[in-house]
Amino acid sequence: MSLVTLNPATGRRLRSYREHTARHVDRTLDAAARAFEAWRQLPFARRARHLRAVARELRRGASEHAALITAEMGKPITQARAEVEKCAVNCEFYAAQAAAFLADERPAGAPAQRYVTYQPLGVVLAIEPWNFPFWQVFRAAAPALMAGNAVVLKHAANVTGCALEIARIFARAGIPRGVFQTLLLSGKRTAGLVADPRIAMVTLTGSTAVGRQVAAIAGQAMKPGVFELGGSDAYVILADADLEHAAELCAESRLYNNGQSCIAAKRLIVVEAVRARFEALLVARLQARRTGDPREASTQLGPLARADLRTELHRQVRRSLRAGARLLCGGTLPRTPGCYYPPTALTNVRPGMAAFDEELFGPVAAIIPARNEAEAIRLANATPFGLGAGVFTRDRRRGERLAREQLVAGNAFVNEFVRSHPTLPFGGVKLSGHGRELGAWGIREFTHAKTISVS
């Protein structure tokens, strides 16, 4: 079977790749298991030198890496360059901090002769998505490798070129053979990979549906996992919010990465007293974004990654309109080549509509009216997802209280849009997954805490 990549800006075929055979998979897993035994013995300082070399290699070829990301999934080129740089920063962060994060600990009150050490798990299977084809891989690989594990990557088929280039980056940086490898497999063959006894752990970023399937297989085999899944992030705009600021950041969050982000601002819950003004400001900002060729630096919105994704997004918009939502802008399929979809805003969105209940993975904002703060919080939490959330208010203490105590999500931001940072834990609750990536919390997910007693 072949894996085919297409340029979503033109619809044209880029390349075709032959899927790896069962024999190749077997050799890859054997090589990873052998490499792990040697890699885990290296001191942190040696692993750190390798990760810093990976960061240098990322920056050395940043223009080519960014161009490949843009070609395969349509990300605007300036955002693609930023993604590559973020990967390099993450490698450097873990190179600098891993030894401290995983240092032996003697908990308060523990007997004098006992302590806790953090040990690597083995071969980590990383199942990664197409929307951030470099970042999602390095977000997991940098801490997993610094913790002493080997990594096998199974990437999304439509970014196969990125998957192979990432493997080449590690090889050019001098990472020992077998420590990081890429497998080219269709989704249908992933189950066997997860169940293979040579795989010690699974980390997955993707849809909730796929996450459920993989988590079930891993659970059956008693394998740990980190799952960062879908999101339908609610941003609450209160009556005392700076509406200009809120509209600008909501538009930026909603359209970033062509609207294809788990932590995008998707459900904008606006107190009725300021809704009309906010709608006008948001629509103006959505329509001001420049749609065009993602290879051009001036482009702010490119195509969706695949034609089927655009079709499904448009169906969700039409279903919401039939259920009573009102269209403020966009909502029409362009007749031009490629997988473009216009910046779209729906208002009068309510529970029971697709735009409220489902994740909208594209440049569509759902505006939801609320009578007051209490109803806004209730609506924000009325979702099976719980990845990110935000609140806009001029009263910072009020905003912090709501973010800390009321919004049910793994990440809650006040007067800014949700984004990840290498130093802080990232992940969700409810159907948005479990486990954490990044920070000290993220690297410890790739270890087991082992109690040692010496008498």
Catalytic residues: 228, 262
Residue 423 within a domain: no
Question: Facing residues of 234 across strands?
Answer: 267, 389
Task: Judge contact between 309 and 340, C-beta under 8 A.
Answer: no
Provide the phi-psi class of 16: left if phi over 0, else alpha when psi is between -120 and 50, else beta. Answer: beta
Residue 134 within a domain: yes
Residue 67 has pLDDT above 90, yes or no: yes
Residue 68 has pLDDT above 90, yes or no: yes
Distance CA 397, CA 111 (A): 42
For the segment 115-140, the average pLDDT, to the nearest whole number, is: 98
Listed in sequence order, the residues at least 6 apart from 362 whose beta carbon sits closer than 8 Å to its beta carbon are: 258, 259, 260, 304, 309, 310, 313, 341
DSSP string across 4-73: EEE-TTT--EEEEEEPPPHHHHHHHHHHHHHHHHHHTTS-HHHHHHHHHHHHHHHHHTHHHHHHHHHHHH
Question: Do 45 and 193 belong together in one domain?
Answer: yes
DSSP string across 228-285: E-----EEEE-TTS-HHHHHHHHHHHHHGGGG--TTS--EEEEEGGGHHHHHHHHHHH
Distance CA 440, CA 424 (A): 8
Residue 406 has pLDDT above 90, yes or no: yes
Residue 424 within a domain: no
pLDDT digits (tens, 9 = 90+) for 202-253: 999 999 999 999 999 999 999 999 999 999 999 999 999 999 999 999 999 9
* Residue whose entry in the numeric block shows the structure tokens 């199974």: 154
Task: Judge contact between 105 and 130, C-beta under 8 A.
Answer: no
For the segment 396-425, the average pLDDT, to the nearest whole number, is: 97
Tokens of 439: 């920070």
Tokens of 194: 């997860």
Question: Do 216 and 301 belong together in one domain?
Answer: no
Residue 274 has pLDDT above 80, yes or no: yes
Tokens of 73: 């999934």
Residue 195 has pLDDT above 90, yes or no: yes
Task: Judge contact between 6 and 17, C-beta under 8 A.
Answer: no
Distance CA 233, CA 272 (A): 19
At 443 the pLDDT is 98
Residue 23 has pLDDT above 90, yes or no: yes
For the segment 257-272, the average pLDDT, to the nearest whole number, is: 98
Tokens of 329: 């802008």
Residue 44 within a domain: yes
Question: Do 435 and 296 belong together in one domain?
Answer: no
Residue 1 has pLDDT above 90, yes or no: no
* Residue whose entry in the numeric block shows the structure tokens 């990110």: 388
By C-alpha distance, which of 53, 345, 294, 349 is closest to 180?
53
Question: Do 220 and 341 belong together in one domain?
Answer: no
Tokens of 405: 């105590």
- Is the pTM of the predicted complex or chain greater than 0.95? yes
Distance CA 95, CA 87 (A): 12
At 299 the pLDDT is 98
pLDDT digits (tens, 9 = 90+) for 130-189: 999 999 999 999 999 999 999 999 999 999 999 999 999 999 999 999 999 999 999 999
Question: At 113, which CATH number?
Answer: 3.40.605.10
Question: Do 225 and 244 belong together in one domain?
Answer: no
Residue 421 within a domain: no
Question: Do 225 and 84 belong together in one domain?
Answer: yes
Percent of the residues in the chain that have a pLDDT greater than 90, as a whole number:
99
Listed in sequence order, the residues at least 6 apart from 259 whose beta carbon sits closer than 8 Å to its beta carbon are: 301, 304, 341, 360, 361, 362, 363, 364
pLDDT digits (tens, 9 = 90+) for 426-451: 999 999 999 999 999 999 999 999 99
Question: Do 208 and 244 belong together in one domain?
Answer: no
Question: Do 334 and 446 belong together in one domain?
Answer: no
Question: At 357, which CATH number?
Answer: 3.40.309.10
For the segment 66-76, the average pLDDT, to the nearest whole number, is: 98
For the segment 326-334, the average pLDDT, to the nearest whole number, is: 97
Question: Do 215 and 243 belong together in one domain?
Answer: no
Distance CA 250, CA 237 (A): 10
Average pLDDT score over the chain: 98
Number of domains making up the chain: 2
Question: Do 347 and 204 belong together in one domain?
Answer: no
Question: Residue 82: in which H helix or E strand, if any?
Answer: helix 77-101
Residue 284 within a domain: yes
pLDDT digits (tens, 9 = 90+) for 393-402: 999 999 999 9
For the segment 298-323, the average pLDDT, to the nearest whole number, is: 98
What is the domain range of residue 340?
234-414
pLDDT digits (tens, 9 = 90+) for 335-379: 999 999 999 999 999 999 999 999 999 999 999 999 999 999 999
Q: How confident is the model at residue 410 (pLDDT cuts 50, 70, 90)?
A: very high
Distance CA 398, CA 414 (A): 9
Distance CA 132, CA 90 (A): 14
